[in-house]
Amino acid sequence: MGAHTITITDDTFDEEVKGSSEPVLVDFWAEWCGPCRMIAPVLEEIAVARKDTLKVAKLNIDDNLAITTRFDVQSIPTLILFKDGEPVARVVGARGRAALEEEIDRHV
């Protein structure tokens, strides 16, 4: 994980995401997923650029089936933006920074 992203699990999801006072972008990923590895540096850049207004979190789907199932994640990477603890946007598949920033800006 990057220095500016956090790792969350089934056990920490509610505290880190539902209980967050700032929006949270959750990256549902897996180690074996090539596109997930491709967007990791982009997510780190977003985490750095928005460190005061957005939390970027990573959740490994192989180790955290409860949250993966709760949000019906069927393809990875899937990015879900949470605001006030509720999902407000979903992006499935690898996207560039500009496209992700545009989606974030639309909802925060």
SS3 assignment for the chain: CCCCCEECCCCCHHHHHHCCCCCEEEEEECCCCHHHHHHHHHHHHHHHHCCCCCEEEEEECCCCHHHHHHCCCCCCCEEEEEECCEEEEEEECCCCHHHHHHHHHHHC
Task: Report if residue 98 sits inside a domain.
Answer: yes
pLDDT at residue 3 in the model: 76
Domains held by the chain: number: 1
pLDDT at residue 79 in the model: 99
Where residue 45 sits, what CATH number does that domain have?
3.40.30.10
Task: Provide the annotated active-site residues.
Answer: 33, 36
Task: Report if residue 1 sits inside a domain.
Answer: no
Task: Report if residue 62 sits inside a domain.
Answer: yes
- The model carries a pTM of 0.95
| pLDDT one digit per residue (tens) for the chain, 108 residues | 567 999 999 999 999 999 999 999 999 999 999 999 999 999 999 999 999 999 999 999 999 999 999 999 999 999 999 999 999 999 999 999 999 999 999 998
Task: Report if residue 82 sits inside a domain.
Answer: yes
Task: Report if residue 43 sits inside a domain.
Answer: yes
Domain that residue 56 falls in: 6-107
